[in-house]
Amino acid sequence: MVRPLGGPGRVDCRLMVTPLSAGVQALNCYRGNSFLLGKEISPRSNSRNETCEPRMRCQESMLIIQAGTRVLTLNNKGCTTREVQALRVTRHVEPPGLIVISYTQVCNSDFCNELKDISPFNLNETKPDVPSPEGLMCPTCVGLGLSCSADLLPCPAGTSHCYNGNINVKGTFSGPLSVQGCVQESCRLLLPGTQAIGELGTQESQTSCCLGGHCDREAPPQIHSASSISHPGLAWSGVGVTLLFSLVP
């Protein structure tokens, strides 16, 4: 703005400039990554506080996989440039059998990226109790790395095949997840192609799906292993019956 000063014919041409960032408040968000493996969903994570850049928002991204009685929860929190998005729960694979669910949220207030209510997932209400009349049994497990220690468990009614595959996770950290269990359809991917779950990228690979549990799959190449997943701030700790794998960048 040009402001005239003095008498007639005299003009002060100095400009009064207002900084573009004035009035834009930086948000405070939770930041961290964690894997939790237990008997139920656990939204908690070892996270720290982070002050975002102006115009950024808080986000939380979560991938949940249930195989038998074991539930793996992968959680990512931090700042993002994405637009505000209400809480969204996507059921990629419904019961009976393996269950795969994702959760994403982008919010615009301090420390809003902390899930407290897990009732939208309803895992306890979806556990089938009726066994398969064909007596189908499949190796069943979920865990970090290219393989997991699988128990041979009876499958629920409505399933017909055994799934065995890996989901590669990409983002602020990367590494494979191993999944085995009963499924309803032959050769159906749990997460078709490459998907973005909030700030997490996922790609399914080395998948087999076979009738009646007679699966033969060559050992995958040792590109990754649980011990090769690295990130600053890597920590393992046991929490009751839950295994906590926490990444805080």
Please give the pLDDT value at position 55: 94
* Cβ atoms within 10 Å, residue 158: 15
Distance in angstroms (rounded) separating the CA atoms of residues 207 and 156:
21
* Cβ atoms within 10 Å, residue 26: 14
Please give the pLDDT value at position 224: 31
Cis peptide before 8 (omega within 30 of 0): no
Q: Is the pTM of this model over 0.85?
A: no
As a whole number of Å, the CA-based R_g of the chain is 24
Please give the pLDDT value at position 10: 52
pLDDT in tens, 156-194: 999 999 999 999 998 876 889 999 999 987 777 899 867
Q: Please, are residues 30 and 48 in contact by the beta-carbon 8 Å criterion? A: yes
Residue corresponding to tokens 């493996």: 37
Q: How would residue 120 be classed by pLDDT, with cut points 50, 70 and 90?
A: confident
Q: Considering only the C-alpha atoms of the chain, give the largest distance between any 2 of them, rounded to a whole number of Å.
A: 100
pLDDT in tens, 124-136: 655 556 888 788 9
Q: How would residue 241 be classed by pLDDT, with cut points 50, 70 and 90?
A: very low
- Region 207-228: mean pLDDT is 51
Identify the residue with better confidence: 112 or 17: 112
Average pLDDT, the chain: 77
Distance in angstroms (rounded) separating the CA atoms of residues 32 and 199:
12
**pLDDT for residue 110 is more than 90:** yes
